[in-house]
Chain A
Amino acid sequence: MLGSLTILLICQLVGELAVRLTGLPVPGPVLGMVILFAGLLARGHVPHPLQDAAAGLLRHLSLLFVPAGVGVMVHAGRLEAEALPIVIALFGSTLFGIAVTAKVMSLMLRRPAQDDGEGAP
């Protein structure tokens, strides 16, 4: 667990440093993700401790959004003043995005999935 956390942090640190040095328009942790992915490809499998650490961290992913989300306080004024465009943009683009992505993907997939046709969830 400790070793895995160290690996995750090293990947992030290398990512952050590379972004600072090269000026790439990518957040450091994203580059860290690419680095870890490349490492896993080279290695050929995910070590068990890393699998567990990643699963543990991602299982509680939604908790990690909370502190940033409370920032809603700071932006209450802006959200109120621009409520109409924000609400329309959020609903419109989110539902449009889901529909477009899923439709394009299903049209591109030749074989239907094996459990296709069981109805809506």
Chain B
Amino acid sequence: MNTDLHVLWVYLSASPLAGLTLTLVAYQAGLWVFERLGRRPVFNPVLIAVLLLAVTLSLTGVEYKTYFDGAQFVHFLLGPATVALAVPLYNQFSEVRQSAPALVVALLVGSAASALSAVALAWAFGASKATLLSLAPKSVTSPIAMGVSEQIGGLPSLTAVLVILTGIIAATFGTWVLNLVRVKDWRARGFGMGVAAHGIGTARALQVNEVAGAFAGLGMGLNGLATAMLLPALYHLFF
């Protein structure tokens, strides 16, 4: 290889441009595959983008840290996006007040069921403590989950991976489970997807039914709030 190419490579790997561009290209590729293969939940655009990027970085020998220096500009937007969740929450407020008791009970039971069963199952099958703590907030949208994970001593980046896998599992098998337990009410179906599987579950519910989508968004927002407040408190109670 000649020196010009080497100089170019050194420049690209040092600037945020490469990581940023690569992220957007990989995501577009993920969306393209998702659309082309019939919008099946298994071909989740996030999953495809993550795998493409991981393979590309491994093949080129670029470290994750170097990549993230560029990609952090996308990552940063998770903060304002979390704040923006207040808007759909506000838009659904009248609906929320009408079914408030059902929402509160389902939220508390569902939030606890998701987090506790994850920790209990992982513990029963011999997971390490860092993995247990990283798993606890995995049902919540990743900006919140990563924050909670950091607070209780988990690994935020591992949590992010587990959050995404949770969403993909829910998007793929959620409908099947909801039919299995014979829940037909769209509000309940959507709320279940949002509470257990955050944004990816919400995106899936929106594809199926508008009412389900609205309640899924609500479930995602409320569980984010509930988990952010309850998990650290629970953690301090037990450890």
B27-A63 in contact (CB<8A): yes
Say yes or no: A82-B64 contact (C-beta < 8 A), given A68-B75, A113-B185: no
B83-A73 in contact (CB<8A): no
**Dominant SS at the A interface?**
helix
Number of interface residues of B (CB under 8 A): 125
Type the 1/0 row for A2-36, where 1 means its CB is closer than 8 Å to any CB of B. 00010011011001000000000111111011111
CA distance A62 to B163 in the complex (A): 12
A105-B188 in contact (CB<8A): yes
Tell me the A48-95 residues at the B interface (CB within 8 Å). 50-51, 53-55, 57-58, 61-75, 78-79, 82, 84-86, 88-95
Say yes or no: A101-B162 contact (C-beta < 8 A), given A30-B224, A33-B86, A40-B90: no
Chain A residue contacts of B143, Cβ below 8 A: 27, 29, 64
Type the 1/0 row for B93-136, where 1 means its CB is closer than 8 Å to any CB of A. 10000010111011101110111011101111111101100010
CA distance A65 to B124 in the complex (A): 29
Contact of B211 among A28, A30, A103, A115 (CB under 8 A): A115
A101-B196 in contact (CB<8A): yes
22 contacting pairs across A/B (C-beta < 8 A): A25-B232, A27-B148, A30-B144, A36-B86, A57-B77, A62-B203, A64-B75, A64-B81, A75-B158, A86-B131, A89-B117, A97-B110, A97-B114, A98-B178, A98-B196, A98-B197, A101-B106, A101-B109, A101-B188, A102-B106, A102-B191, A106-B185
Hey, which bits of chain B sit against chain A, CB under 8 A? 19, 23-24, 26-27, 45-47, 49-50, 53-54, 57-58, 64, 67-68, 71-72, 74-75, 77-91, 93, 99, 101-103, 105-107, 109-111, 113-115, 117-119, 121-128, 130-131, 135, 138-139, 141-144, 146-148, 151, 155-158, 160-166, 169-170, 173-175, 177-181, 183-189, 191-193, 195-197, 199-201, 203, 208-209, 211-212, 219, 221, 224-225, 228-229, 232-233, 236
